[in-house]
């Protein structure tokens, strides 16, 4: 769980082409290779738009699970499908324009009643999705 006021620190190191190695600074956590898709890159790892899409879906799924666990619901499994659509902004630049997330938990009948209550609550607790929806100030320094 993220801690308020504690920075999330990730270091990227250039490899070649458009590939970067992301180091998360957490003992035991493997590095992740980022790369742009062909024809720009070689697709040796997810690109930033795919990571953003996966982050939003993963955060929503974890938020729903958190609510269900707090409600003492029995979750037997969960599948999440997410699609993001690229769109051009007013300057003609590509942006992630929309995300569609479908979360399919496997639960017994008594637990499904608890799911109905969690459906009303869980989105508001997803750090990533709510941050994207509100817009995140990004300060950039080069040099």
pLDDT digits (tens, 9 = 90+) for 40-74: 999 999 999 999 999 999 999 999 999 999 999 99
Residue 110 has pLDDT above 90, yes or no: no
Specify the CATH architecture of the domain 47-134. Answer: 2-Layer Sandwich (3.30)
Residue 99 near residue 56, CB atoms below 8 Å: yes
- Looking at every residue in the chain, the average pLDDT score rounds to 94
Q: What pLDDT is stored for residue 126 in this prediction?
A: 95
CA distances to 46, 55, 69, 83, 86 from 50, in Å: 6, 8, 28, 9, 11
Dihedral (Cα; 63, 65, 67, 73), 10-degree rounding = 170
pLDDT digits (tens, 9 = 90+) for 24-42: 999 999 999 999 999 999 9
Measured CA to CA, the distance from residue 70 to residue 72 in angstroms comes to 5
Q: What pLDDT is stored for residue 2 in this prediction?
A: 63
**H-helix or E-strand spanning residue 132:** helix 127-134
Question: pLDDT confidence of 137, banded at 50, 70, 90?
Answer: confident
Cis? peptide before 39, omega within 30° of 0: yes
Task: Calculate what percentage of the chain has a pLDDT beyond 70.
Answer: 99
DSSP string, 44-97: SS--HHHHHHHHHHHHHHHHHHHHHHHTT--EEEEEEEEEEEEEE-TTS-EEEE
Q: Residue range 83-90: average pLDDT? A: 94
* Statement: the pTM of the whole predicted model exceeds 0.85: yes
Rg of the chain in Å (alpha carbons): 18
Domain boundary assignment for the chain: 1-46, 47-134
């Amino acid at each position: 769980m993220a801690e308020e006021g504690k920075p999330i620190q990730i270091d990227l190191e250039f490899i070649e082409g458009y590939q970067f190695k992301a180091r998360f600074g957490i003992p035991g956590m493997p590095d992740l290779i980022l790369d742009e898709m062909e024809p720009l890159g070689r697709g040796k790892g997810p690109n930033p738009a795919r990571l953003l899409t996966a982050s939003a879906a993963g955060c929503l799924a974890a938020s729903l699970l958190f609510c269900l666990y707090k409600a003492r619901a029995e979750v037997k499994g969960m599948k999440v499908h997410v699609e993001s659509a690229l769109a051009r902004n007013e300057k003609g630049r590509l942006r992630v324009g929309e995300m569609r997330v479908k979360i399919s938990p496997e639960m017994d009948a008594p637990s499904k009643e608890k799911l109905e209550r969690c459906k009303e609550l869980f989105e508001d607790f997803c750090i990533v999705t709510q941050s994207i929806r509100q817009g995140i100030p990004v300060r950039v320094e080069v040099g």
